[in-house]
Structures are given as C-alpha cells and as structure tokens.
Amino acid sequence: MKITVMSVMVDDQEKALKFYTQVLGFEKKTDIPMGEGRWLTLVSPEQRDGVELLLEPMGFAPAKVFQKELSEAGIPWTSFSVDDVDKEYERLTKLNVEFTMKPTQMGPVKLAVLKDTCGNLIQIAQLL
C-alpha cells in the first residue's frame, strides 16, 4: 500500500491551479473534466512520479465547514517540505503570499504557515 494522491479542498479550481503552479511551483499532471469540477492533480517538478496533489472542488457542504473551522483555528490543511523555509518565505513574500506564521523553529524542524488564496492554510516545513 502506498499514497498516490492527497486532496486539498479548494473553493475555485482555476484560482487554485494558478496559485499552486505559478506561485508555489507545482506542475499540472492530470486535468480531466468530471461534471461541474475536474480531476485536477499537480506534482512536484522534483518528483513527477511522486504523490499527486488533487485540487478537489469544494462541493460538499460539511467540507466547507471543516475547511473554515481549520483555518479559523490556525490549523494547516497539509504540509509541504522545503529545503529552506527562510528562503521560501522570502520568495513567497515577494510574490505577495500572506503568511499567518513566519518561519519558526520548533525542535528539529522550522515551519511557516501561508494562506493558499483558496480557503486553506498550508504549512511549509524544513527538517533541520
């Protein structure tokens, strides 16, 4: 058993696609129309055959509540690893990405939390 796809619920797939590709640097892998939404997955350019990130349309009412409550509590939806949190923070800040937590060392990791423009908080993490 292995992880092949993980989901991030988004309020607008097109807006999410732009943010996750043009700002965060992921690449589109799959884009298949499926009714009102799309099966829209992204991958890291460093791991084209790795885990896919599904930009899942927010079509389920309880999911909207869950996303809102997580965000209001300051809890990230998911976490992405980076080689250098400080460098990513600087790069993303220059692209006008809003952070709710600046780079902070917590034991053996350094973390920062950003808003993805689609209703989620996303953590970036560096193992020290």
DSSP the chain: ----EEEEEES-HHHHHHIIIIIS--EEEEEEEETTEEEEEEE-TT-TTS-EEEEEE--SHHHHHHHHHHHHHT--SEEEE-S-HHHHHHHHHHTT--EEEEEEEETTEEEEEEE-SSS-EEEEEEE-
The DSSP bridge pattern shows strands 52-57 and 37-43 to be: antiparallel
Is 90 exceeded by the pLDDT of residue 105?
A: yes
> Which domains are assigned to the chain?
5-127 (3.10.180.10)
Q: For 40-84, what is each residue's pLDDT tens digit?
A: 999 999 999 999 999 999 988 999 999 999 999 999 999 999 999
